[in-house]
């Protein structure tokens, strides 16, 4: 580590500048943050994780609800849907039947295990195809373990294609049941609450849901199912405020019509829905941002105050997607990895008003960075570009929001001021109505002040009763589930 004196910087100017920056940073630590600096430098990984798990947090602004459920949740909740008339079958063998059809965007992979269908779909299959499927509740233990593993990205040979081209296709009919998805939402509220979150803004659409028999459920009925679930006592008891976004698949042939329909729906359901998002692989050129310029110009004439967040910069190579996304009217950018390679825009975005939704674990597992050290997050944060940590598809990563904070603190030496700023950013840039936003900001400030006071008075003994949830990612990557857990 470079010291402030006594080191020979050599003749390289960059070394001198780095030394000056290191000295300045050390000298600039505010006295009231010295406690955290000392704790961070001396804490074990287990102590740091427990501290961050117990720590109050703001919001999660970038998450896909259908990717937020852990595999065990999917299995339990799917079996609980019999009372609503839903029963599921999953593919457990391949008999080379050959009579498979097409889905909306191309051919569904035939040689793919654990694709889930409803009983109605199963009954419509040929005898050969039926022989490939088994009721979900009748799986052997080995088959169940395979089913759970099939929607979890946890192997070194898995990556982007496994996630984008298989995980969602396997979930299949499970994501078309609004009652099941409402329970997934509640499970997330409960789990997020346990790690200190107070605001959840999730991509959870209202279109495409079906009855057990396969008929489409009107969007307004789906929204009412969500409202009813959110009003139940156990959901209210979590203390988590929830708002939802509609999302369009940017490269779909009918994406423009999806956008028009979603804007109208959000405009008519402002108590629950606060914005529209564009999702999907950016390396599919059919979803390029400027494709939607004329549609959005039309929509801004038709609707007021519909917020827009767009995935942009989640790519391997530089392009103009982030710049074009801002031109479309987005107030938040999902991922934003390639902003680092647009230096003029990087300078323009310092100090806002646009927020970058940072997903550290997602970007690593989908191989947009090979190592956390490559991630531009600390550059954005310390240049003054508003950023907030989020989980993206935490059920598929087998992770949580505490994991994101742990990665950020451990890999980038976050200060206490920066940790608080991340949560405040996640609240101040939420699309929730202003009065609710102000209340959430005040609540967070009160809770984080009480947390800090408690720790400074009692240290880690203040959190002896806190039992963190250690998920698969943090166990694998940092070995936090070994001795001392």
Last residue of a domain, one of 170, 186, 207: 170
Q: 125 and 200: one domain?
A: no
Q: 143 and 222: one domain?
A: no
- What pLDDT shows up at residue 107? 54
Q: 192 and 280: one domain?
A: yes
- What pLDDT shows up at residue 111? 86
Q: What is the dihedral of CA 484, 149, 222, 230, to 10 degrees?
A: -10
* Residue 191 maps to a domain: yes
Q: 411 and 278: one domain?
A: yes
Q: 141 and 152: one domain?
A: yes
The candidate with the shortest Cα–Cα distance to 378, out of 348, 426, 410, 334, is 410
- What pLDDT shows up at residue 30? 65
* Residue 28 maps to a domain: no
- What pLDDT shows up at residue 32? 76
Q: 125 and 212: one domain?
A: no
Query: Which segments in the chain show pLDDT lower than 50?
Result: 1-27, 102-106, 483-485
- What pLDDT shows up at residue 21? 42
- What pLDDT shows up at residue 33? 85
Largest pairwise CA distance in the chain: 80
How far, in Å, CA of 202 to CA of 204, rounded? Answer: 6
Number of domains in the chain: 2
Q: 237 and 321: one domain?
A: yes
Read off the CATH number of the domain in which 384 is found: 3.20.20.140
- What pLDDT shows up at residue 438? 98
* Residue 456 maps to a domain: no
* Residue 466 maps to a domain: no
Q: 263 and 341: one domain?
A: yes
* Residue 39 maps to a domain: no
Q: 195 and 290: one domain?
A: yes
- What pLDDT shows up at residue 481? 87
Q: 121 and 216: one domain?
A: no
Q: Let me know: does 39 contact 51? Beta carbons within 8 Å.
A: yes
* Residue 218 maps to a domain: yes
The candidate with the shortest Cα–Cα distance to 448, out of 235, 198, 265, 250, is 198
Q: 222 and 299: one domain?
A: yes
Q: What is the dihedral of CA 296, 301, 304, 310, to 10 degrees?
A: 10
Peptide bond between residue 339 and the one before it cis (omega within 30 degrees of 0): no
Q: Let me know: does 466 contact 54? Beta carbons within 8 Å.
A: yes
Q: 274 and 422: one domain?
A: yes
Buried b vs exposed e over 278-296: b needs ≥16 C-beta within 10 Å? bbbbbeeeebebebbeebb
What's the distance, Cα to Cα, between the start and end of the chain in Å? 30
Last residue of a domain, one of 114, 148, 170: 170
Compute φ and ψ for 337, nearest 5 degrees.
Answer: -60, -40
* Residue 458 maps to a domain: no
* Residue 111 maps to a domain: yes
The candidate with the shortest Cα–Cα distance to 61, out of 432, 395, 362, is 432
Its domain, for residue 248, covers: 51-69+178-451
């Amino acid at each position: 580590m470079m010291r402030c004196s006594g080191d020979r910087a050599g003749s390289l100017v960059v070394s001198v500048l780095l030394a000056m920056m290191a000295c300045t940073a050390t000298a600039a630590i505010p006295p009231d943050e010295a406690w955290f600096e000392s704790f961070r430098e001396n804490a074990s990984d287990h102590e740091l994780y427990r501290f961050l798990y117990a720590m109050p947090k703001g919001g999660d602004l970038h998450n896909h609800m259908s990717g937020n459920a852990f595999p065990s949740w999917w299995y339990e909740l799917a079996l609980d849907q019999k009372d609503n008339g839903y029963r599921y079958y999953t593919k457990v063998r391949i008999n080379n039947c050959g009579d498979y059809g097409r889905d909306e965007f191309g051919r569904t992979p035939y040689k793919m295990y654990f694709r889930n269908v409803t009983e109605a779909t199963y009954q419509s299959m040929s005898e050969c195809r039926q022989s490939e499927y088994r009721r979900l509740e009748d799986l052997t233990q080995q088959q169940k373990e395979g089913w759970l593993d099939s929607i979890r990205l946890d192997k070194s040979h898995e990556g982007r294609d496994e996630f984008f081209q298989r995980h969602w296709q396997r979930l299949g009919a499970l994501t078309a049941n609004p009652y099941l998805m409402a329970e997934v939402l509640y499970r997330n509220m409960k789990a997020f609450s346990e790690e200190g979150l107070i605001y959840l803004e999730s991509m959870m659409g209202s279109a495409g849901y079906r009855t057990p028999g396969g008929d489409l459920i009107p969007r307004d009925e789906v929204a009412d199912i969500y409202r009813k679930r959110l009003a139940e006592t156990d959901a209210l008891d979590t203390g988590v405020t929830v708002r939802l976004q509609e999302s369009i698949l940017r490269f779909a042939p009918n994406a423009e019509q999806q956008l028009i329909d979603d804007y109208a729906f959000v405009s008519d359901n402002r108590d629950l829905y606060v914005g529209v998002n564009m999702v999907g692989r950016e390396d599919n050129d059919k979803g390029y941002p400027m494709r939607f310029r004329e549609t959005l110009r039309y929509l801004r004439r038709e609707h007021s105050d519909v917020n827009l967040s767009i995935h942009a910069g989640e790519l391997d190579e530089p392009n103009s997607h982030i710049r074009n996304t801002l031109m479309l009217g987005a107030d938040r950018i999902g991922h934003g990895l390639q902003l680092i390679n647009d230096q003029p825009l990087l300078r323009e975005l310092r100090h806002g008003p646009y927020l970058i939704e940072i997903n550290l674990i997602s970007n690593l597992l989908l191989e947009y960075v090979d190592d956390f050290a490559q991630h531009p997050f600390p550059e954005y944060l310390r240049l003054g570009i508003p950023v907030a940590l989020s989980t993206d598809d935490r059920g598929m990563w087998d992770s949580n929001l505490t994991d994101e904070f742990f990665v950020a603190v451990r890999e980038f030496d976050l200060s206490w001021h920066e940790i608080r700023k991340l949560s405040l950013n996640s609240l101040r840039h939420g699309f929730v109505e202003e009065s609710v936003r102000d209340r959430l900001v005040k609540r967070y400030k009160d809770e984080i002040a009480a947390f800090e006071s408690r720790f400074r008075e009692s240290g880690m003994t203040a959190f002896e009763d806190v039992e963190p949830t250690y998920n698969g990612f943090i166990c694998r990557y940092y070995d936090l589930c070994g001795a001392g857990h």
